[in-house]
């Protein structure tokens, strides 16, 4: 058995304090001198590095060998990123897989009792770029925000997307993909916002609505609005109005994806709806993750349909979502 510690760079995360617990480890700003012990390739970048204030997740990784421990680094990286993306602000943070991760391995030499230390460097496409020069996007996390991130990590950690609500896995991948800088950084920001909106609403549809084979005759647009409102609206008197507004969000997605309107045709109101796609997907995912854990085969669309029509079922849905909250 080896003793291995992972250092996972979290691009874009700004930490005002020194460190904070997160999942099975902690996040901290890594001093330049410590980084040099992991990766001494750029010795003259101390000033740039200190200005970028890179934040790392640091934690011990189990395994018999470093080859066994490495997959755990990748898995934790993905879960950490999802935890930040599921935080209530639904930020566009670049995935750690684009940056750099380190695995420091300590083992005993066969020839002596002295420990042997080696560092495995796991470079993404950006290699050390964001460590030295900073991320193209930054988000500052205070103690309250980090507490929410920790809650989301606990939710992700205990969930198997393959064994819960249909569409959760695709929704999580969509949230991750649309946060990648190649999806939104530079170029035509409006077209990027439209692209994100279409993908996030489509991923929401996959969770909220039954499969095409199971759908009864009727308006898909209105069904989307009703199911989303049943899940997200907390005021009974506003249920119908919320359903109509959420149907409008889906209607805009349909008009865009089928080419009925283009970027130049969008009204100010429609442009203001574009950020709703990402936030809507985040809210749906969090609720579905809470409800789907331990409920393999849950018919989520049927549950939502019943909740919209039946106040008692709606109250029960609220109770179930609340009871699944992570402390």
| Span 37-77, pLDDT tens digits | 999 988 899 999 999 999 999 999 987 778 888 999 999 99
- Contacts of 60-66 spanning 24+ positions with Cβ under 8 A: 60/3, 60/4, 60/5, 60/6, 60/24, 60/25, 61/4, 61/5, 61/6, 61/103, 62/1, 62/4, 63/1, 63/2, 63/4, 64/1, 64/2, 65/2, 66/2, 66/4, 66/103, 66/105, 66/118, 66/120
| Residue 137 sits in the same domain as residue 172 | no
pLDDT score, position 114: 56
Q: Are 236 and 287 found together in one domain?
A: yes
What global pTM score does this model have? 0.89
Residue 250 has pLDDT above 90, yes or no: yes
| pLDDT tops 80 at residue 184 | no
Per-residue pLDDT, averaged over 208-225, amounts to 80
- The percent of residues in the chain predicted with pLDDT above 70, rounded, is 90
* Last-in-domain residue among 144, 173, 203: 144
**Domain boundary at 91, 112, 144, which?**
144
More confident residue, 169 or 296: 169
Number of domains in the chain: 2
User: Are residue 124 and residue 251 in the same domain, yes or no?
Assistant: no
> 167-193: buried (b, 16+ CB within 10 Å) or exposed (e) per residue?
bbeebbebbbebbebeebeeeeeeebb
Residues 134 and 272 in one domain: no
pLDDT category at 219 given cuts 50, 70, 90 is confident
Residue 29: CB partners within 8 Å, gap ≥ 6?
Answer: 15, 18, 19, 53, 54, 55, 56
Q: Tell whether 197 and 303 lie within a shared domain.
A: yes
Structure confidence by residue, pLDDT tens digits, 192-205: 899 999 999 999 99
Q: What percent of the chain has pLDDT over 90?
A: 68
Q: Is the pLDDT of residue 111 over 90?
A: no
Residues 98 and 231 in one domain: no
Flag whether 61 is in a domain.
Answer: yes
| CA nearest neighbour of 54 among 21, 88, 91, 7 | 7
How confident is the model at residue 326, as a pLDDT?
Answer: 46
Note whether 124 and 210 are same-domain residues.
Answer: no
Same domain for 133 and 184, yes or no, is no
Would you say residue 156 lies in a domain? no
Do 13 and 135 lie in a common domain?
yes
pLDDT in the model for residue 68: 85
Interval 212-241 mean pLDDT? 86
Question: Would you say residue 190 lies in a domain?
Answer: yes
Would you say residue 85 lies in a domain? yes
Examine the domain organization and report whether 217 and 89 are in the same domain.
Answer: no
Decide if 92 is inside a domain. yes
Give the pLDDT confidence score for residue 327 in this predicted structure: 38
d(CA 307, CA 322): 15
Q: Please state the rounded mean pLDDT for residues 246-256.
A: 95
Mean pLDDT score of the chain: 89
> Is the model's pLDDT at 239 over the cut of 80?
yes
Residues 53 and 102 in one domain: yes
- Domain of residue 56 covers 3-144
94 assigned to some structural domain: yes
CA–CA distance, 211 with 281 (Å, rounded to integer): 18
Which of the listed residues 144, 176, 206 is the one where a domain comes to its end?
A: 144
pLDDT at 231 over 60: yes
Residue 188 pLDDT exceeds 80: no
Q: How confident is the model over 124-179, as pLDDT tens digits? A: 999 999 999 998 888 999 999 999 999 999 999 988 776 678 899 999 999 999 98
Instruction: Classify residue 150: in a domain, yes or no.
Output: no
Instruction: Work out the pLDDT band at 108, boundaries 50, 70, 90.
Output: low
Measured distance CA(88)–CA(152) in Å, rounded = 10
């Amino acid at each position: 058995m080896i003793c291995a510690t992972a250092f996972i760079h979290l691009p874009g995360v700004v930490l005002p304090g020194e460190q904070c617990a997160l999942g099975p480890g902690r996040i901290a700003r890594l001093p330049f001198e410590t980084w040099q012990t992991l990766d001494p390739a750029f010795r003259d970048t101390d000033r740039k590095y200190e200005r970028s204030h890179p934040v790392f997740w640091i934690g011990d990784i189990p395994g018999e060998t470093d080859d066994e421990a490495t997959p755990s680094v990748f898995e934790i990286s993905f879960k950490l990123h999802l935890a930040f993306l599921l935080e209530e602000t639904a930020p566009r943070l670049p995935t750690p897989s684009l940056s750099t991760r380190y695995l420091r391995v300590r083992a005993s030499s066969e020839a002596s009792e002295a420990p042997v230390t080696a560092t495995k460097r796991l470079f993404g496409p950006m290699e050390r770029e964001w460590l030295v020069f900073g991320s193209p996007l930054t988000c500052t996390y205070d103690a309250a925000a980090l507490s929410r991130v920790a809650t989301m990590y606990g939710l992700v950690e205990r969930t198997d997307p393959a064994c819960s609500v249909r569409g959760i896995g695709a929704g999580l991948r969509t949230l991750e993909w649309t946060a990648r800088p190649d999806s939104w950084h530079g170029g035509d920001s409006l077209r990027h916002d439209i692209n994100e909106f279409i993908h996030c609403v489509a991923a929401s549809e996959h969770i909220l609505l039954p499969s095409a084979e199971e759908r009864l005759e009727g308006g898909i647009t209105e069904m989307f609005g009703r199911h989303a409102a049943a899940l997200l609206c907390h005021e009974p008197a506003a249920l119908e109005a919320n359903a109509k507004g959420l149907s409008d969000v889906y209607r805009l997605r349909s008009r865009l994806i089928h080419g009925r309107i283009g970027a130049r045709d969008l009204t100010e109101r429609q442009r203001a709806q574009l950020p709703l796609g990402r936030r809507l997907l985040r809210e749906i995912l969090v609720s579905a993750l809470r409800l789907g854990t331990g409920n393999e085969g849950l018919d989520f669309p049927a549950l939502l349909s019943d909740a919209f029509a039946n106040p008692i079922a709606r109250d029960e849905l609220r109770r179930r979502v609340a009871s699944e909250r992570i402390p």
